[in-house]
């Protein structure tokens, strides 16, 4: 039950100087993208409790492997704790997925604004930004599916540990299945973080190219 670290979309705190005649498509894109960040706030909020639950799960597993067959009652008790832990982690992941789905739905609004951009170079840059963000959403979906698969593998493992007649060979296979599932999480998570970093970079490049008046109000 390995830990994971998730990158988030860069949170920008900026001030926009409006133009006469209302905001430009670029400014509307800015607003949509910054609102998209707020949609992912629940995603951020589950990271710390999820990390804590993963650490607790690791601790439970470590305790179980130290026990002998003569301590079967303790194994059952700890396995029940592990199963409860899995349920809690599944709930946190569902919250994370829901936040990303809401973020994706809101971000889709930029498509209409891109159509209004007259500068072809800037329009191309905006299209590339959207392409990267959509890739990020796809990768998170794969990451979530990998995480659910790992939880399923863990659940099967601990349910089997509660069977007094379970063969050691079967448990070893289940442990290997679990480890394989977490290896996949590591791969998916790494790519997700890389694409998130790429989006953050392209996002700021777009703001700069669009000539938006960005000021950090936290600076003197």
C-alpha pair distances (Å), 138 with each of 45, 142, 172: 21, 6, 33
In a domain, residue 11? The reply is no
Q: How many domains does the chain have?
A: 1
In a domain, residue 180? The reply is yes
Q: Nearest-5° angle of CA 115, CA 137, CA 34?
A: 60
pTM (global) more than 0.75? yes
Q: Domain of 105: which CATH number? A: 1.20.120.570
Which of 60, 109, 54, 58 minimizes the C-alpha distance to 80? 60
Judge contact between 192 and 143, C-beta under 8 A: yes
In a domain, residue 111? The reply is yes
In a domain, residue 188? The reply is yes
What's the domain range around 111?
Answer: 25-209
pLDDT (tens place) for every residue of the chain, 220 residues total: 444 555 565 544 333 444 445 789 999 999 999 999 899 999 999 999 999 999 999 999 999 999 998 999 999 999 999 999 999 999 999 999 999 999 999 999 999 999 999 999 999 999 999 999 999 999 999 999 999 999 999 999 999 999 999 999 999 999 999 999 999 999 999 999 999 999 999 999 999 999 875 554 333 3
In a domain, residue 8? The reply is no
Judge contact between 114 and 126, C-beta under 8 A: yes
């Amino acid at each position: 039950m390995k830990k994971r670290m998730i990158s988030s979309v860069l949170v920008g705190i900026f001030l926009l100087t409006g133009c006469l005649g209302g905001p430009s498509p670029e400014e509307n894109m800015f607003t949509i993208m910054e609102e998209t960040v707020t949609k992912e706030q629940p995603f951020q909020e589950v990271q710390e409790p999820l990390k804590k639950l993963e650490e607790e799960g690791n601790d439970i597993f470590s305790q179980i492997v130290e026990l002998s067959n003569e301590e079967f009652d303790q194994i059952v008790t700890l396995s029940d704790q592990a199963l409860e832990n899995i349920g809690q982690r599944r709930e946190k992941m569902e919250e994370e997925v829901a936040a990303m789905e809401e973020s994706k739905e809101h971000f889709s609004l930029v498509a209409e604004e891109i159509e209004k951009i007259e500068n072809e170079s800037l329009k191309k840059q905006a299209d590339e930004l959207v392409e990267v963000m959509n890739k990020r959403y796809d990768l998170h979906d794969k990451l979530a599916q990998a995480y659910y698969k790992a939880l399923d593998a863990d659940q099967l493992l601990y349910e089997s540990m509660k069977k007094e007649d379970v063969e050691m060979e079967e448990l070893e296979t289940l442990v290997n299945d679990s480890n394989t599932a977490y290896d996949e999480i590591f791969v998916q998570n790494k790519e997700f973080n890389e694409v998130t970093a790429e989006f953050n970079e392209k996002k700021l490049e777009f703001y700069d190219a669009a000539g938006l008046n960005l000021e950090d109000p936290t600076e003197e």
